[in-house]
Structure 1
């Protein structure tokens, strides 16, 4: 008995992806007319018959959520992924987690591959670059998708965005350093061309402007190694700096490590604050002050809105900010 042709056979014959064939048989309007006709011609030539009942059963039972993260080496994203996966599991959904390592090409291939396995929804912390390509890939995927932490401007309001209120967090941190008596406050880390850097920096710049204080922005990689390398530079070149707001906790923890070797004394001569409040902040030496993004609540919020979209068709608002708070520890208080 001859084998019945499958959707993969159609995709191969038409020269398109499995997800494109799936969109055609479901009647999606996102596929170009010319592509739709090529797919249908391949179906006729192969004698492929779409089993809608079987497809409905597969869709109902899949319950698969994709989580694509730009850098899982960062403990912040790891903590977020773990919290999200546990919440989704409680709701009966499985999570496939992928790390793109800030590679937009890998990101696009990963999303295409995940969608071919029948995702119910997607949560994406995007890598920067090739934004038109990722926009096209998400349009083709046609599954409920939410951006977290970073927002690609090319997507506009088409893909909802959920992130902590970094601007408020930056304001709280900068004001706290001023209240501790800091007169020369630097912003450390983050690549200047990235929107997320400008966002985390904006309230710092505004607060200093209000007090007629000259800002000092020292941008760079968002890593421990960069923070560590800046400790001797602060001591030798910027010895008047007595307060530092770091782009994230990794930069801040690296700075603490560098200062322990080279000075200045953190919490006394130099007051330091990070952003994210990962678990390592509590155990650093000295304990690191940080802007808490309440990672479990953030993960719960993202998952809740995605599942509402999937199950009830309620699309989230274009932009949603989750609350932040400042957790003060020895690195900024000296106590």
Structure 2
């Protein structure tokens, strides 16, 4: 080998993560003996020499987890990040957090900075576009990395986890049909994005089974778009009597727009959101929503990445967590 072997070279040859090699070098009892032997064998084959002085200089970053979120302005992602950070903190790990604001260039920048500062693992709710700039860098660093809530890269290399979006939209659509809805629209979500397709899939399948025609009003999901959608539905699609929204922010904006128009929600128009953020139970009328238990999901992801780090237990390529429907006043007569 022309250059001095690195800890990443050892990890690659041994077929483990960089963090596992570090644990072996630190003589941690958390690593299985078989894995320890594989790492020691790789070190011998490569002629790797452990520089303990340099390692001590890096020790301030031991136990540091990078968390990269596409939109922290959305309470759904904020609750996830808070729950995950608290769970990691309870186990003695520190979290460095970055909001990318749906900007893939910024995402690549912050991920690169986290890798330079020696994070032990990454958890990424990714922005769309230019995925290689972010995930190729993670692959080169050989750092354990989870994709959460959205998938943009190969899940065989970067395991993916999310709530069961298709089941959520199916439950919501079935609920609206049971309440007597005859023309159901799906509001919000940008066309062509995988997460939009997933959140619509149960809605589309349920309507198809009933011989009903879907209607999608695409748009950047948020309160502003939901408020605008209330006017568009009233003007262009007066026959629509129920709406499933891409997320709760869109649904809350739709509530506001209906109030401005004097359109009764729960009777003239039934509305269901998606995510069940805290505001759903505090809105007027209270908002029905698909509950993803995002706080529980955050705790589960913390446990997943710690098992990967401490026990070399790599998660499966895909983890889908259960969802439930929480019916409230917005979708059923009071």
With structure 1 as the length reference, what TM-score do the two structures score? 0.84
Aligned to 2:79: 79
Q: Is the 8 A contact 2:63 2:120 kept in 1?
A: yes
> How big is the shift at 1:136?
1.2
Aligned to 2:294: 295
RMSD over aligned CA atoms reads 1.8
Aligned length in residues: 295
Deviations 1:149-171 (A, max 9, x none): 0001x424210001000111111
1:25 is the counterpart of 2:6: yes
Aligned to 1:148: 148
Aligned to 1:244: 243
> How big is the shift at 1:312?
0.8
Deviations 1:145-192 (A, max 9, x none): 00100001x424210001000111111000000000000000000011
> How big is the shift at 1:254?
0.5
Aligned equivalents of 1:240, 1:281: Cα separation in 2: 26
Deviations 1:99-121 (A, max 9, x none): 00000011001000011111011
Q: Is the 8 A contact 1:267 1:334 kept in 2?
A: yes
For structure 1, the 5+ residue unaligned runs are 1-20, 32-49
Write out the 4+ residue segments of structure 1 that deviate beyond 4 Å after TM superposition: none
SS state at 1:315 partner: coil
> How big is the shift at 1:301?
1.0
Q: Is the 8 A contact 1:167 1:203 kept in 2?
A: yes
Identify the structure with bigger relative contact order (alpha carbons < 8 Å, sequence gap 6+): 2
> How big is the shift at 1:137?
1.5
Aligned to 2:26: none
Q: Is the 8 A contact 1:122 1:144 kept in 2?
A: yes
Aligned to 1:139: 139
Aligned to 2:30: none
Aligned to 1:284: 283
SS state at 2:272 partner: strand
> How big is the shift at 1:242?
0.6
For structure 2, the 5+ residue unaligned runs are 13-48
Aligned to 2:122: 122
Q: Is the 8 A contact 1:59 1:118 kept in 2?
A: no
> How big is the shift at 1:141?
2.6
SS state at 2:180 partner: coil
Aligned equivalents of 1:61, 1:125: Cα separation in 2: 22
With structure 2 as the length reference, what TM-score do the two structures score? 0.85
Aligned to 1:65: 65
Aligned equivalents of 2:76, 2:53: Cα separation in 1: 40
Aligned equivalents of 1:218, 1:27: Cα separation in 2: 48
Aligned equivalents of 1:268, 1:301: Cα separation in 2: 38
Structure 1 119/24 Cα, relative in aligned 2: closer, same or farther at 3 Å?
farther
